[in-house]
Amino acid sequence: MIKHISIRNFAIIEHTEIDFHDGLNIITGETGAGKSIVIEAVSLALGARADTAFVRSGQEKAVVQMIAGDHSGREYLLSREVSAAGRNICRIDGEIVTLAQLSALSKRLADIHGQYDHQSLLDPANHIRLLDSYESDAITPAREAVKLMYTQYRDLQQQLRTLLARAAEDARQRDFMAFELQELESAGLIPGEPEQLEQEIRLLQNSETIFRSLAGAYEIVSDSEYAALPALKTASDQVAAAGEFSAELEALGERLSGLYYELEDIASEVRRQRDSIVFSPEELDEKLARLDLLNRLMNKHGRSIEELLEYQQELADRLEDIDDISARRESLENEIHKAGIALRGACNRLSDARRSAASSLEEKICRELSQLNFSDSQFSITFREAEDFTEDGTDIVEFMITTNRGEPLKPLSKIASGGEMSRIMLAFKKIIGDYDGIPTMIFDEIDAGISGIAATVVGRKMREIAGSHQIICITHLPQIAAFGEHHYRIEKTSDDTSTYTRVATLDEEGTVSEIARLLGGETITKTTLQSARELIEASQHNIAMK
């Protein structure tokens, strides 16, 4: 419940503090005094949209603070600051939070109802929500099961749509992809091949030069009159012959012998390399053509040989997917069919739970309407099946009513007047409010369009609802105000420069005077005061009789 609210520099309210209580809290005041401004301030603290127009003229910011508790009894300090510059700060227990966090908490604390709720009740799209909030313990698990299965069903359908869309696009590109794959496969790509080709081409292009160089080197080393290898052999033998006379000369001879054998190996390798050089214009042309092919493929696709090999595998996989589309399509269609059967079963179970709840709700609504002076009314909840699945199942729910004997049931929007809608809405709030776990209901002039006996009935019903909820009600009708347990008067005053609104808590006599004002206007006589007392006494007697 809302225990206290502090409002500073909000619209025409400079500063006011209000302590609310359990039961039925009535707020009255002259037209234009600022009754709805108080509710706007409460709405702001509960997470409503902020507007710089809320800031009192000449002030930097408007501040609304509220102490409120949830159904478990835990209390929270909610705070909103709106600056003239457009800054908007939300706090819970002194900690800055987002507007979404504040709104999420506020939904557990209070529910604000105004004339706009009539439109909400008239919209058939909202009827299924109202039904689901009734007996939610039975309906919510079934609805969550449907939501989960619907998500899976929808995802499978999306997979099939994606598959078919891609298949259609791939079918248009299949020939091109097949051509590219054949081109790459026929090329016989080998990692690192361009570098290897470039090296081989350089050798072929310079084979004559290389041959002359190797032949000249071999001749100098081994194949001429003054070749180095025979000379080194002779030198090695002569030093070896002297080695028997000296260990030092023996070591020197061994070194010369080692050089000789090393040079002999080199000479053999030079000869082998020389003999392997074959200048072949045909081979050069083949390697140049091969390198040109590889370069063209790399330039065409903007990829290296290694990347082209990956792309080749990708093309092969995609073509395999295209060729396998029928099997995958059939598999998905089977999954969708099975998911549809399961979803249909879940929707039927949800519908059964709703129909069971609807039967009970119809009975209770009819009882409430009877208590609200709709003695000849009938109320029914109709069900139609939607053309397709939704996350809410397949039910289309609509509330039907007749308020006159012998008249057929019709949609609410086509039969109920504004005054009738106020009473019908109270019937719903009385029943649904017992299940939503929200401790506070705020009514902002929902009594518009009613008077006389209907107003008395509405007041009695509000007092009845206040037995299990805190009710804060703005009203201009004395018949409703007389049922109040706590009464507040909104007053507006002005001086030469500003307008001020304050909230006064009324005692018993103050309540009598205020109800007398509602009955008789500006002139309050002994007769109107007596009428006010009699109205209050009649209201209390009305409650006692219930």
Question: What is the set of domains in the chain, with CATH numbers?
Answer: 1-109+438-546 (3.40.50.300), 168-323 (no CATH)
Q: How many C-beta atoms lie closer than 10 Å to residue 100's C-beta?
A: 10
* Cα–Cα distance list, 23 to 67, 229, 473 (Å): 17, 123, 11
How do residues 55-103 score in pLDDT, each as one tens digit? 998 899 999 999 999 888 899 999 999 999 889 999 999 999 999 999 8
Higher-pLDDT residue of 414, 156: 156
- Cβ contact 433:443 at 8 Å: no
In this predicted structure, what is the pLDDT of residue 416? 55
Least confident residue range of 45-54, 235-244, 398-407, 430-439: 430-439
Q: What is the pTM of this model?
A: 0.60
Per-residue pLDDT, averaged over 115-126, amounts to: 66
Rg of the chain over all Cα atoms, to the nearest angstrom: 48
Q: How many C-beta atoms lie closer than 10 Å to residue 63's C-beta?
A: 21
| The token pair that represents 153 in the structure block | 């069903």
- Cβ contact 482:515 at 8 Å: yes
In this predicted structure, what is the pLDDT of residue 113? 72
**Whether the predicted pLDDT of 414 surpasses 60:** yes
In this predicted structure, what is the pLDDT of residue 295? 92
- Reported as half-sphere exposure (CB side, CA atoms, 13 A), residue 370 has a value of 8
Q: Which residues contact 68 (CB under 8 A, 6 or more apart)?
A: 1, 2, 3, 75, 76, 78, 109, 110, 440
In this predicted structure, what is the pLDDT of residue 403? 80
Distance CA 232, CA 229 (A): 5
In this predicted structure, what is the pLDDT of residue 66? 93
Q: How many C-beta atoms lie closer than 10 Å to residue 371's C-beta?
A: 18
How do residues 315-358 score in pLDDT, each as one tens digit? 998 888 777 777 888 899 999 999 999 999 999 999 999 999 99
Least confident residue range of 160-174, 271-285, 437-451: 437-451
How do residues 505-526 score in pLDDT, each as one tens digit? 999 999 999 999 888 877 788 8
In this predicted structure, what is the pLDDT of residue 115? 55
Q: What is the mean pLDDT of the chain?
A: 86
Least confident residue range of 8-22, 71-85, 404-418, 503-517: 404-418
